[in-house]
């Protein structure tokens, strides 16, 4: 009987994905790797594998930072866009620009996750 090994390619791909996802997913990444290691160890010892805990993704720091980034970018975009709208169309141009920015922010806030 051969002993199961942790595939190096899987771990390499997981590390690459971790770097792409960023630090807000570190906990999920660590749990996934630990689960894989435990499965391998249990298979080696012949013990029955323990069931995995299934959890819903909780909004974490990353969601807050993305919302803050969206708000800051909206304010930064509002300055030149409102100037362009006022110069070209007056008050109606300003209203259209601000309505567009509000619409983008509302759509981002209530997007499905």
Distance between CA atoms of 36 and 63, rounded to whole angstroms?
27
Q: What is the mean pLDDT of the chain?
A: 77
- Can you tell me the mean pLDDT for 3-31? 68
- Can you tell me the mean pLDDT for 96-106? 94
Q: What is the 8-class DSSP label of residue 88?
A: H
Dihedrals phi, psi of 88, to nearest 5 degrees? -85, -35
**CB of 44 within 8 A of CB of 4?**
yes
**CB of 48 within 8 A of CB of 42?**
yes
Q: Which tens digits make up the pLDDT trace of 28-76?
A: 777 777 777 777 777 777 766 566 655 555 555 556 678 888 889 999 9
pTM of the predicted model as reported, rounded to 2 decimal places: 0.45
Using CA atoms in the order 20, 26, 27, 31, what is the torsion angle rounded to 10 degrees?
70
């Amino acid at each position: 009987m051969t002993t199961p090994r942790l595939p190096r390619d899987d771990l390499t791909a997981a590390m690459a994905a971790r770097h792409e996802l960023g630090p807000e997913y570190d906990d999920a990444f660590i749990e996934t790797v630990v689960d894989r290691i435990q499965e391998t160890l249990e298979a080696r010892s012949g013990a029955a594998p323990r069931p995995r805990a299934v959890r819903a993704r909780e909004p974490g720091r990353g969601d807050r930072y993305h919302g803050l980034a969206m708000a800051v970018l909206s304010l930064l975009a509002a300055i030149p866009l409102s100037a362009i709208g006022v110069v070209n169309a007056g008050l109606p141009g300003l209203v259209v620009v601000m309505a567009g920015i509000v619409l983008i922010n509302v759509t981002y806030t209530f997007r499905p996750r």
